[in-house]
Each structure stands twice: as C-alpha cells, then as structure tokens.
Amino acid sequence: MAWREQSPERGSQVSSWNPGGPASHRESTLDAAESRPAVSVGEREDFVDAPKTSVSSISGAGEESLTSRPHTEHTVENAEQNPNLNTDSTPARPTDDQILAQENSIREAVAESSPFVGDKEPLAALRKEYEDGSAVFLQKISTLEEKYQAIRRTRGDGNCFFRAFIFAYMEDLVQSNSLQERNRVVTCMRQWKPRLIAAGYQELVFEDAQEMIMDQLNSLGTADPVMLPALETNMRDAGVSQMVVMYLRLLTSAELGQRQEFFSPFILGMFDDCPSVDHFRQRYVEPMGEESDHVHIVALTDALQVPIRIVYLDQSLGAAMAGVGHAEGAAVNHHDFVPEALQNATGPNAIPKVHLLYRPGHYDILYPSKSA
C-alpha cells in the first residue's frame, strides 16, 4: 500500500509552504471531465498516446497496355496467394483499448491546460457552457441562480473533490476570520497525527502537508494573516496542491479503516470488485486521481467534522431545492453531508459552509447568494 511503513521509498516531500511567493501555473480555465489515472503520490505516470493506425497508401493502376491484365485481376490473384492480404481500402478500426487510451490522453491534456483552482466567476459562466446544449441543464442553472451567485472551477484530474473541499473551507475561514472554528480544526488535525501513524502511514509522508495547512490557519487573527490571493497562489502550485490532496486522502482512508463496521455495508454493496474495506482504501481512496463518491465524502466530513452541501447538476428529475418551487424538469437536488456528531447540533457549526457543485464525474465550488 502506498505511503505505508513497508514502503518508505514511496514517501515524497515538498518544499516549504510559500504564503506569498510566486507559483507557476496555467491561467486558462476549462471545465474538464475527470480522468481516473490510478497513480500514487510520487509516481506520476504520463498517459501514452494510443498507437496511430497506419494506413498504407493505395496507388491506382497506371495506364494499361492492350496486353496488360486489369488491376482487379492482380488484386484477386494476390488475394489468392496471400489470404491475409486486406484488399479493402478502408483503414482498420482501432481496438477498444486504443480508443480508450486516446480518450484518456485527450482528457489528460485538457485537464493539464487548466489550473488546479480557477478564478471565481459569476454563475452566468456556467450557463454559457450549456447555451447550445441541454434544455434541462439550462432550466436547472436558472434554479441555481436563485440560490447561488458564483462558481469556482477546479481541475478535472480525479482529485477535484478533495481540492474543492479544502479550498472552499479555507476560503470561508479566511473571509469569516472565525478563530473559534480555526482553533477547532487545528486541534482536530493535531489529534489525527498519532492516528495516522497508528494506521501505518509514515510521518514524513504527511507531516509537511499537515503543517502547510495548519500554518495557514494559524496565521488567521495575527498581524500577518493569510489572504485570498496567497491562498489561491498556494493551491495553484503543483507541489503544494498535490501534497494537500494526498493528506486529505490519507485522512479519508484512515477514517474508513477505523470505522470498517460502519462503512463496510456501503462499500461491499456499491463495489463488486472490493471484497473488503481495506481493498477499497488501497484501490479507490489512497491513489491520486481516483474519483470520489458518497463514501469518500462521508469519511472526510466525519474525519474533520466539517459539514458540506453537494448540489447535483444532471439530467435527473427530482425534488426542488429547499424553499424553491419549480417545475419537475427544473428541480435541482442537493444533499447535506453532516458529521454524525453534529446531526443533532444547533448553531453555525452544523450549517454547511462548503457548497460544491457536482456534475457527472466532477466537482466545482459554489458560492451562495447573500440573500440565500
């Protein structure tokens, strides 16, 4: 298993968290579907382009003399001598594996052209994506506009849930300057350190990422607090962003491992290829680039005690958003993931501060309207 004690060579570290320094990143913003490279931290593998089908050129027959045989006779004769000769001029169809490899290569290239975390945009930018597309999506976006004012896109590289979650959470803390919540989550992270070690993870693998986050949080309330531009710069840096995602994956995996009895029915019921919770953790949680679903969300929100809301933008028909009535086709579903310890609680800690938009295979950040 990646990052565990028996594999010390797999641990990777990153240089110090740079609150204000420059970081190289691409500025274009493009919402891409998530690819699912099963790549562990420190083992980034590039996708290989699918082999191109080579089609030999077929030259036409030249002018024929009175004694020459027709070109078709040569073709028939050659086919009789070599039964494996392809006499059809149509290029051979690529195999399914070649098509899949080419699709993955395209997705990877598109994902790498977008920043890990984009700029905050008005929700009208989302409408523009679908103006020539599905009428159902356009109706649902109209519904979203009654509750939300803006969107921030994340790179579609399979890690978008973790990246969107941590950025949205820290951005809310930066803007609210809630020292009470800062102190709570910093304490929670400190308590996770021995639990991660007990779960078999090497301290050198996760300690840098943990310190990065805690340093940012601890700056709140000081004379030099982290500001949004620095937070954006840090999360757009490849080394920093990937290390933070790795840390969140380890928290999620450890939470699953420590509560196997609770999570086992969900995992065994949803994944036919996972005979155990540990197998699920190794296959679908710890590797970088593996997409996240309901199980990942529940585990991470429970691990950090942070409630979040997922809003679903898809073709499904369902109940309208709370407090907003719409025709059935324009209904927008959402689900609040509230940690078990907070489900009967009242007050601001039980209200989701993180709002994510889910489109099939991808998560972006949503910003509620002030009146919502």
Active site residues: 157, 160, 334, 362
Residue ranges of the alpha helices (H) in the chain?
71-81, 96-112, 124-129, 135-145, 160-176, 179-198, 203-218, 228-236, 238-258, 260-270, 277-280, 294-304
Q: Chain centroid to CA 102: how far? A: 20
Say if strands 354-359 and 333-337 run parallel, antiparallel, or are unpaired: unpaired
What is d(CA 132, CA 275) in angstroms, rounded to the nearest whole number? 44
What is d(CA 114, CA 105) in angstroms, rounded to the nearest whole number? 15
Picking from 363, 9, 228, the residue whose alpha carbon sits closest to that of residue 236 is 228
What is d(CA 138, CA 129) in angstroms, rounded to the nearest whole number? 9
Q: In Å, what is the CA distance from 235 to each residue of 104, 153, 241, 292? A: 25, 13, 5, 19
Burial per residue of 350-368, b for 16 or more beta-carbon CB atoms within 10 angstroms, e otherwise: eebbbbbbbbeebbbbbbe
What is d(CA 353, CA 297) in angstroms, rounded to the nearest whole number? 15
Which SS3 state, helix, strand or coil, does residue 68 take? Answer: coil
Please give the biggest Cα pair distance in the chain. 98
Strands, sheet with 308-312, edge to edge from the N-terminal-most edge strand: 117-122, 148-154, 362-368, 354-359, 308-312, 333-337
Query: What's 102's DSSP letter?
Result: H
Cβ-contact 309, 301 below 8 angstroms: no
What is d(CA 116, CA 139) in angstroms, rounded to the nearest whole number? 29
Cβ-contact 40, 69 below 8 angstroms: no
The three-point CA angle 150-154-158 to 5° equals 140
